[in-house]
Structure 1
Amino acid sequence: MSLKPERSGRSGVALATVAGLALMAGAFSLRGLAHAEEPGRRLPEAAVTAKEIGLRTATLAGGCFWGVQGVFQHVRGVRQAVSGYAGGDAADARYSAVSTGGTGHAEAVRVTYDPAVIRYDELLRIFFSVALDPTQVNRQGPDSGPQYRSAIFPADAEQAAVAKAYIAQLDAVHAYAKPIATRIEPGATFYPAEGYHQDFMASHPNHPYIAANDAPKLRDLQALFPERTTPEPTLVGGRPPA
């Protein structure tokens, strides 16, 4: 059972009854004990850095895209963070298909950033430090299946090389108790998710799933990387949440 409720693409609203929310909260308390994520930590800077000019994009997957998007919307130098799907075909790039786990897609976030403010390797440092537990395979927290895998979808050979080097660096110093399981998957196309998934963490801060799984990631970002954090999120909708 996932804590993420059924959603309606037609209405654009997450559907959940009061009783269902109570059941989901109870499920988290049980499953969270069995599948606890590694806590956030300020990982070392990358030894291999990116050399980029002009606005660039980074596509990252780390479980439910709500939390990954919410983290990067608060990172200084990020111009936009969009929830979506990567790793599969265009025909399957919709939540109803991806949620089955059989499309090849992962829930992912495309981050548009200014490398004059924050480099690609610095984004990866934040990603591995606070946005996910990179040692989990085909799951994050209460969500399981290949659609929740940890993956990096590099835009070019330089991004792929920087990502590979940083993962090797972290494993060499035993940054985590277990080896990093994050996959590097070049050549993938990113497809934006349905509108009701965008800005979900900012718009629904009290949602049970957000409070249990994603709010701690944002608190880790603010505590571990205060110099990289912006107080207000950069929203896809272009306006503050209601």
Structure 2
Amino acid sequence: MIAKRNVLKPAAWLGALALVTAAGFVANGPAAAEGRAIPAPAVDESVGAGLETVTLAGGCFWGVQGVFQHVDGVTRAVSGYAGGASSTATYAKVGDGDTGHAEAVQVTFDRTKVSLGKILQVYFSVAHDPTTLNRQGPDRGQQYRSAVFASSAEQARIAKAYVAQLDAAGAYGDRIVTKVEQGQAFYPAEAYHQDYMVRNPRDAYIVYNDAPKVEALRRLLPDVYRATPALVSGAGG
């Protein structure tokens, strides 16, 4: 199992699991991520043909990738890095927290099956907590920040409008800290990070932090959930 930087060691994760309270929390952070029911975007793109790509950062890319691999209409979800230079787009360097990169997932989706707005609804409701600054669960650092790396001005407009909509509705109680950026390059992560959740379902980090997100997707957004993930390796889909 790959060691995560700035997180508990596997043995400690197993111990932490025993500390789950009736309220669904442990001393080190939220237990099973239950997700949050939020309204769909009031501003969305029109249905169209072809594929579209958006890059999303929301903590460790293992879980974000795992969620979007289970979204119907997503043809590919690749873990990687965005926000920094090509020379520092490696797991070892990004883990230091000073490269400008965020762990991110480039999501490619079929516009005839799912819209950008629905992708963003999944992102804000079950893929991560958009109200924690440079932190997701046990992970700390700028590389775990919440960010939408838009591939066009239209994507940026829709994402910003959705953030404003959710904040105005008080959807979370706290203000959203997600940044919407445009023009940032995406660099795929090392091969051993791809399809990590599917290949390591018993990893304590996955069991505790990420598998519940996929269950929340199935429960809260059944209209876009699919059981078979779209894998980078090419199997499934």
State the distance in 2 between where 1:61 and 1:75 align.
17
Aligned with 2:105 (options 80, 98, 109)? 109
SS for the counterpart of 1:215 is helix
SS for the counterpart of 1:69 is helix
- 8 Å contact from structure 1 (residues 135, 178) kept in 2: yes
State the distance in 1 between where 2:192 and 2:151 align.
26
- Once the two structures are superposed, residues 150-195 of structure 1 have per-residue CA deviations (whole angstroms, 9 ceiling, x without a partner) of 0000001000000000000000010001001111121110000000
- 8 Å contact from structure 1 (residues 63, 140) kept in 2: yes
Report the count of equivalent residues: 226
State the distance in 1 between where 2:196 and 2:98 align.
24
- Once the two structures are superposed, residues 134-163 of structure 1 have per-residue CA deviations (whole angstroms, 9 ceiling, x without a partner) of 100001000000000000000010000000
What's the counterpart of residue 170 of structure 2? 174
- Aligned ranges for residues 2-21 of structure 1 at < 5 Å? 5=3, 20-21=9-10
What's the counterpart of residue 188 of structure 2? 192
My pick for the range that moved more, 40-49 or 131-140, is 40-49
State the distance in 1 between where 2:120 and 2:199 align.
25
- Aligned ranges for residues 37-186 of structure 1 at < 5 Å? 39-51=34-46, 52-186=48-182
- Taking a change above 3 Å as real, the CA distance of residues 204 and 34 of structure 1, as seen in their structure-2 partners, is closer
State the distance in 1 between where 2:168 and 2:29 align.
25
Aligned with 2:15 (options 8, 26, 40)? 26
State the distance in 1 between where 2:60 and 2:225 align.
21
Aligned alpha-carbon RMSD (Å): 2.0
State the distance in 1 between where 2:119 and 2:27 align.
29
State the distance in 1 between where 2:27 and 2:168 align.
28
State the distance in 1 between where 2:185 and 2:196 align.
22
State the distance in 2 between where 1:125 and 1:154 align.
15
How far off is 1:115 after superposition?
1.0
User: Aligned partner of 1:91: which letter?
Assistant: S
My pick for the range that moved more, 85-94 or 22-31, is 22-31
SS for the counterpart of 2:187 is strand
TM-score (norm 2): 0.90
User: Aligned partner of 1:137: which letter?
Assistant: L
State the distance in 2 between where 1:146 and 1:194 align.
20
- 8 Å contact from structure 2 (residues 34, 212) kept in 1: no
- 8 Å contact from structure 1 (residues 32, 141) kept in 2: no
- 8 Å contact from structure 2 (residues 28, 138) kept in 1: no
My pick for the range that moved more, 46-55 or 77-86, is 46-55
Percent of aligned positions with the same letter in both sequences?
A: 52
- 8 Å contact from structure 2 (residues 71, 225) kept in 1: yes
State the distance in 2 between where 1:188 and 1:163 align.
15
Gaps of 5+ in 1: 8-19
- 8 Å contact from structure 2 (residues 81, 188) kept in 1: yes
Aligned with 2:30 (options 22, 25, 36)? 36
